[in-house]
Amino acid sequence: MTPHAFLPTVGLLLCIATHAQNIPPSVDITAVELDQGAQTVTITYTLIDAEQDECEVLLTASSDGGASYLINTMGATGDIGPGVAPSAGLSITWNYGSIDPEGVYIRVMAEDGHVPDIQAMVDALQADRLMQRLAHVAIPRHHVSAPDGITAIRDTIMLAFGAAGMQTSQQAVTFQSNTVPNVIGRLPGLVDETRTFIVDGHYDAVTNTAGADDNATAVAATLEIARILSGYRFRNSIRFIGFSFEEQGLIGAQTYVQSGIPVWEQIAGVLNMEMIGYYSEDPGSQQLPAGFEFLFPAAVAQIEANEFRGDFLTVVGNTASQPLIDAYMAATAAYVPELSAIPLAVPGNGQIAPDLRRSDHAVFWDTGRPALMLTDGSNFRNANYHTPNDTPSTIDTLFFLRSAQATLATLATLAEPINSGFDSYLLGDLVGVHAHEHPRACAATARQDRQADLLRVDLGVCSAQGITASLFDARGVRVAGRTFRPADGVHDLPLNGLRAGMYLLVLEDGEQHQTLKVDVVR
C-alpha cells in the first residue's frame, strides 16, 4: 500500500452419472460447409446433455486466433437460441458477409440453465494452500533493493496463470528507468465477453521487508481465486492482475488504465485487495483517520460499539461504486457469513478522504469505473506496516481465508457462472474445401504413474508451438492443467492427490484438440 499522504470442450464426460451438480452440456462440431459465393457457413453439430435438458445455443466468431470472440453473428439461423433439444445432426447457418473467413474461428456454445454452485467454489479455497502461497510470495521484492525477488514473484504469477489455462500477458511498466511489468491472466466470458470484472493486488513491496500483509496476502489470494475459478465457465469475462510499482504511486495501475484496456472492453467492476490478512480482537487495536466520524458516522459508531477491535474487513468504494459495494456485502453474507465486513462509500473520487485513495482502485475511480478497495486497514491496524516485521507469522489465517473467500464469492457472482460446453473450428481450414473432420492436437497418450502421483502425457513428435493440457472431473470442473512447451515428448501433469475415478484430459494447441479418457486409480 502506498504511504500515508498526510499522516473445453468436455465431450463424452456428459454421459457419466454423478451425484454432484448438474453435468454441463457438450457440443461436438461434426461438419462445416463453406459457400464463399453465397458468403455463408453451415455448421453441423451434436448436442449432448446427460439430463436431456433443452439448452440455449450461441454462435460466436473470432478474428484474432480465438483470443476473443467479438464478430457479430446476429442473423444466424437454424438450431440456435433457447429451447434447443439435445440431438445429433443439428445445424446453424451464418451469413458472414464481407468478412474474410481465412482467419476466422467459429464457436458453438450451449448452456443448460443450471447454475454451478458458488458455495462449492468458495469452499474449495482452503487455508493450507492459501498460506503456502503466502509463504512463497512473502519475500523481499523491490525493483532496486531486491530485483531478483520481484522478478521471481512476477514469474510465479505468470506460471500460475498459465497453469490455470488462462490467457496470459505482461504489460511493460517503467518507473525511473526501471521496468517491472503488470502481469495479467484472463478468463474470457462465453456470452458477454466485453463485460469484464477484475480482481487484483500489487506484487511489489517497499524495501527491507517481506511485505506479507502488504501485499503478499493479495497476491496469494489472487492466485488461489484464479486457480479455482479457472475450472468453471462464466457469462462475463474475468481478468486477474498483479500490478507493479504501486508503492511508487500507483504507476502500474495508471499504465494499465491508460493503455492496457482494449477499446471494446467494459470494466464493470474492480476488486482491489490491499492488505487482507491482519486481525486483532484486542480493544483499541483499530485506529481511524481523522474526520471519519463526520464522513461515516454509522460505520464509526459500529466500530466504537465493538471497542475499536481490528476484527473486520473494510469494503471501500466511492459513491459511484455503491452497487459494487452492495454486491460484495450480499455475497459475503450469503457465502462467508462468518466474516465481519464494514462498507464505506466515499463521496466523489475520494479526494475528501486521501487515506481511502492509497491503492490501485483509485485510478479506476478517476476514470469513472466502479472499484473497491478491500483492506484490513493497513497502518491504522497493522503496526508492522512497511517494516521488517511484516512477515507471514503475523497473518491471521482464518481472517485471511475468509477475506479471500468473500472476494471469490463476489467475483463469481458478478461474472455469472454457467453450465456450458462448446466446440470451435477454424474456417480457414475450409477455404477451397467443403467439409471437415475434427483435427487432433498431436497424437497423444496418457498413463498414470501412481508412485509419483503424476499423469505421464506422451505427445510424441508434435509440430505445435505449445499444448495446453486440461484435466476435467465428472462435473466438468477443471481440476488440473499445465502448458507443455516444447509440444513434443513426455510431460508430467501432477495429480495432487485427486480421488480415484474417471477423468477427461483435453489437449489443445489453439486450433486443434484431442480428448483422452483417464482412469485414476488409488
- Please tell me the distance from the alpha carbon of residue 252 to that of residue 171, in angstroms, as a whole number: 9
Q: Nearest CA to 234 among 72, 71, 413, 48?
A: 413
Q: What tens digit of pLDDT does each residue of 492-520 get?
A: 988 888 888 878 788 887 667 777 878 88
- What is the four-CA torsion angle of 30, 34, 40, 46, rounded to 10 degrees? 0
Q: How many CB atoms lie within 10 A of CB 449?
A: 11
> How far, in whole angstroms, is CA 56 from its chain's centroid?
24
- Residues 508, 514, 515, 518: is their CA dihedral positive or negative? negative
Alpha carbon distance 476, 214 (integer Å): 36
Give the least confident one: 41-45, 237-241, 263-267, 439-443.
439-443
Q: Tell whether the model's pLDDT for residue 197 goes beyond 90.
A: yes
* CA–CA dist 492, 449 (Å, integer): 9
> Residues 404, 130: contact at Cβ < 8 Å?
yes
Closest CA relative to residue 143, chosen from 113, 106, 104, 173? 173
From CA 472, how far away is CA 49, in angstroms rounded? 16
Which pLDDT score, from 0 to 100, does residue 514 have?
Answer: 78
pLDDT at 461: 80
C-alpha cell at 49: 446433455
pLDDT band at 10 (very low <50, low <70, confident <90, very high): very low
Reading the block at residue 67, the C-alpha cell is 483470443
Instruction: Using DSSP, state whether 341 is helix, strand or coil.
Output: strand
Residue 256 pLDDT level (bands cut at 50, 70, 90): very high
Q: Which residues contact 304 (CB under 8 A, 6 or more apart)?
A: none
Q: Are 169 and 211 in contact (CB under 8 A)?
A: no
Please tell me whether the peptide bond between 379 and the residue prior to it is cis, using omega within 30 degrees of 0. no
Average pLDDT of the chain is 91
Q: Which one, of 520, 521, 519, 514, lies nearest residue 10 by Cα?
A: 514
Stronger pLDDT, 33 or 518, i.e. the higher one: 33
Please, are residues 225 and 199 in contact by the beta-carbon 8 Å criterion?
yes
What would the mean pLDDT of 343-347 be, rounded to a whole number? 97
Give the global pTM: 0.82
Cα torsion through 290, 291, 293, 299, rounded to 10: -80
390-417 average pLDDT score: 98
Q: What is the DSSP letter of 499?
A: P
C-alpha 381/C-alpha 282 separation (Å) is 11
The pLDDT of residue 474: 64
Q: What is the mean pLDDT of residues 393-405?
A: 98
State residue 443's pLDDT score: 75
Average pLDDT over residues 8-23: 40
- Give the mean pLDDT of 154-167: 93
User: Which of 80, 57, 81, 60 lies closest to 71 in space, CA to CA?
Assistant: 60
- Structural domains of the chain, with CATH: 8-114+419-438 (2.60.40.10), 118-415 (3.40.630.10), 441-522 (2.60.40.3080)
Strand 236-243 relative to strand 192-202, pairing: parallel
User: Given pLDDT bands bounded at 50, 70 and 90, which one contains residue 346?
Assistant: very high
CB 335 within 8 A of CB 118: yes
Q: Could you please report the per-residue DSSP string of 170-223? A: EE--EETTEE--EEEEEE--SSEEEEEEEEEEE----TTS--IIIIIHHHHHHH
Which residue shows C-alpha cell 461438419?
31
CA dist 119 and 24 (Å) reads 18
Please report the sign of the dihedral spanned by the C-alpha atoms of residue 416, residue 422, residue 428, residue 432. Answer: negative
Nearest of 67, 66, 48 to residue 57 by alpha carbon: 48
- The closest alpha carbon to 359, from 303, 287, 286, 276, belongs to 276
Among 74-78, 149-153, 403-407, 448-452, the least confident range: 448-452
Mean pLDDT of 32-48: 94
Q: Is the pLDDT of residue 18 over 50?
A: no
The pLDDT-based confidence of 200 (bands split at 50, 70, 90) is very high
